[in-house]
Structure 1
Amino acid sequence: MEKGARHRTNAEKNHPAGSESKTGSGEGGVSLKKEIGLVSACGIIVGNIIGSGIFVSPKGVLENAGSVGLALIIWIVTGLITAVGALCYAELGVTIPKSGGDYSYVKDIFGGLAGFLRLWIAVLVIYPTNQAVIALTFSNYVLQPFFPTCFPPEFGLRLLAAICLLLLTWVNCSSVRWATRVQDIFTAGKLLALALIIIMGVVQIGKGEYFWLEPKNAFATFQEPSIGLIALAFLQGSFAYGGWNFLNYVTEELVDPYKNLPRAIFISIPLVTFVYVFANVAYVTAMSPQELLASNAVAVTFGEKLLGVMSWIMPISVALSTFGGVNGSLFTSSRLFFAGAREGHLPSVLAMIHVKRCTPLSALLPCLGPPSPPPPPASVKQRQDLGVSGEKL
Structure 2
Amino acid sequence: MEQSERQPLLPSPSQNNNPRPLSLGDPHVEVPTEFQDSLPGSGPGKNLTWTSAYILVVSRVIGSGIFATPGSIVKSAGSIGLTLLVWLFGTILAACGMSISMEYGCMLPRSGGDKVYLEHTYPRPRFLASTLIAVQAVLLGFTASNCIIFAKYTLFALSVEPTDFQHKALAVGLLTTIIIVHGRFLKAGIAIQNALGWVKIFLIGAMSLTGIWVLLLRFFGNSHHIIPQESFTSTLSWDSLWEGSNWSWGLLSTAIFKVMYSYAGLNNINNVLNEVHNPVQTVKTVCPSALLTAGGLYLLANTSYLLVVPIDDIKNSGELVAALLFERLFGDHIGRTLLPLAIAISAAGNVMVVTFAHARINQEIARQGFLPFQNLLSSSRPFGTPLGGLLVHWIPSVLVISIPPQGDVYNFILDVEGYPGQLFALAITVGLLILRYREPNRPRPFKAWLPAIWLRIVVCLALLAAPFIPPPNWKGDVDFFYATYAIVGISVILFGVLYWYIWTVLLPRRGGYTLEETVETLNDGTNVTKLVRSYK
TM-score (norm 1): 0.85
Residue 334 of structure 1 pairs with residue 334 of structure 2: no
Q: Secondary structure at the match of 1:35?
A: coil
Instruction: State the partner residue of 1:66.
Output: 78
Q: Secondary structure at the match of 1:249?
A: helix
Choose the corresponding residue for 2:286, options 261, 264, 267.
264
Residue 122 of structure 1 pairs with residue 136 of structure 2: yes
Instruction: State the partner residue of 1:196.
Output: 206
Choose the corresponding residue for 1:180, options 185, 190, 201.
190
Instruction: State the partner residue of 2:317.
Output: 295
Instruction: State the partner residue of 1:98.
Output: 110
Distance (Å, rounded) in 2 between the aligned partners of 1:392 and 1:46:
23
Instruction: State the partner residue of 2:394.
Output: 368
Superposition RMSD on alpha carbons, in Å?
3.0
Q: Secondary structure at the match of 1:131?
A: coil
Q: Give the direction of change, closer, same or farther, for the CA distance of 1:41–1:213 in structure 2 (3 Å limit).
A: farther
What are the residue-to-residue correspondences of 1:36-51 with 2, within 5 Å?
36-51=48-63
Instruction: State the partner residue of 2:31.
Output: 16
Aligned length: 374
Deviation at 1:50, TM superposition (A): 1.6
Query: Which amino acid letter does the alignment assign opposite residue 391 of structure 2?
Result: L
Per mean C-alpha deviation after superposition, the further-off stretch among 29-38 and 292-301 is: 29-38
Q: Give the direction of change, closer, same or farther, for the CA distance of 1:132–1:36 in structure 2 (3 Å limit).
A: same
Q: Which has the higher contact order (CA 8 A, sep 6+)?
A: 1
Identity %: 22
Deviation at 1:382, TM superposition (A): 1.1
Instruction: State the partner residue of 2:100.
Output: 88
Instruction: State the partner residue of 1:160.
Output: 170
Residue by residue, what CA displacement relative to the aligned partner does 1:86-106 show, whole Å, maximum 9, x if unpaired?
A: 111011011112211111111
Deviation at 1:289, TM superposition (A): 1.6
What are the residue-to-residue correspondences of 1:227-238 with 2, within 5 Å?
227-238=249-260
Query: Which amino acid letter does the alignment assign opposite residue 393 of structure 2?
Result: C
Deviation at 1:224, TM superposition (A): 5.2
Report if the CA contact (8 A) 2:57-2:267 is conserved.
yes
Instruction: State the partner residue of 1:349.
Output: 376
Residue by residue, what CA displacement relative to the aligned partner does 1:217-239 show, whole Å, maximum 9, x if unpaired?
A: 55331245333333333223222
Report if the CA contact (8 A) 2:101-2:267 is conserved.
yes
Distance (Å, rounded) in 2 between the aligned partners of 1:52 and 1:392:
16
Instruction: State the partner residue of 2:89.
Output: 77
Query: Which amino acid letter does the alignment assign opposite residue 349 of structure 1?
Result: L
Instruction: State the partner residue of 1:4.
Output: none
Report if the CA contact (8 A) 2:82-2:242 is conserved.
no
Residue 310 of structure 1 pairs with residue 334 of structure 2: yes
TM-score (norm 2): 0.63
Deviation at 1:165, TM superposition (A): 2.0
Report if the CA contact (8 A) 1:240-1:392 is conserved.
no
Per mean C-alpha deviation after superposition, the further-off stretch among 27-36 and 75-84 is: 27-36
Report if the CA contact (8 A) 2:47-2:275 is conserved.
yes
Deviation at 1:28, TM superposition (A): 4.3
Report if the CA contact (8 A) 1:138-1:319 is conserved.
yes
Distance (Å, rounded) in 2 between the aligned partners of 1:363 and 1:190:
26
Residue by residue, what CA displacement relative to the aligned partner does 1:151-210 show, whole Å, maximum 9, x if unpaired?
A: x23443333333322221122123433222222111212222211212221110012265
Distance (Å, rounded) in 2 between the aligned partners of 1:387 and 1:109:
32
Q: Secondary structure at the match of 1:382?
A: coil
Q: Give the direction of change, closer, same or farther, for the CA distance of 1:31–1:196 in structure 2 (3 Å limit).
A: closer
Residue by residue, what CA displacement relative to the aligned partner does 1:105-134 show, whole Å, maximum 9, x if unpaired?
A: 11111125233223322343112xx32443
Q: Give the direction of change, closer, same or farther, for the CA distance of 1:341–1:212 in structure 2 (3 Å limit).
A: farther
Query: Which amino acid letter does the alignment assign opposite residue 157 of structure 1?
Result: H
Q: Secondary structure at the match of 1:207?
A: helix
Choose the corresponding residue for 2:384, options 349, 358, 365.
358
Q: Give the direction of change, closer, same or farther, for the CA distance of 1:108–1:366 in structure 2 (3 Å limit).
A: same
Distance (Å, rounded) in 2 between the aligned partners of 1:132 and 1:19:
37
Distance (Å, rounded) in 1 between the aligned partners of 2:355 and 2:296:
27
Higher helix share: 1
Choose the corresponding residue for 1:279, options 301, 309, 316.
301
Q: Give the direction of change, closer, same or farther, for the CA distance of 1:57–1:140 in structure 2 (3 Å limit).
A: closer
Deviation at 1:360, TM superposition (A): 2.2
Per mean C-alpha deviation after superposition, the further-off stretch among 138-147 and 298-307 is: 138-147
Q: Secondary structure at the match of 1:344?
A: coil
4+ runs deviating over 6 angstroms: 10-13, 371-377, 386-389
Q: Give the direction of change, closer, same or farther, for the CA distance of 1:262–1:204 in structure 2 (3 Å limit).
A: same
Residue by residue, what CA displacement relative to the aligned partner does 1:273-292 show, whole Å, maximum 9, x if unpaired?
A: 11111100111221222222
Q: Give the direction of change, closer, same or farther, for the CA distance of 1:29–1:137 in structure 2 (3 Å limit).
A: closer
Distance (Å, rounded) in 1 between the aligned partners of 2:114 and 2:269:
11
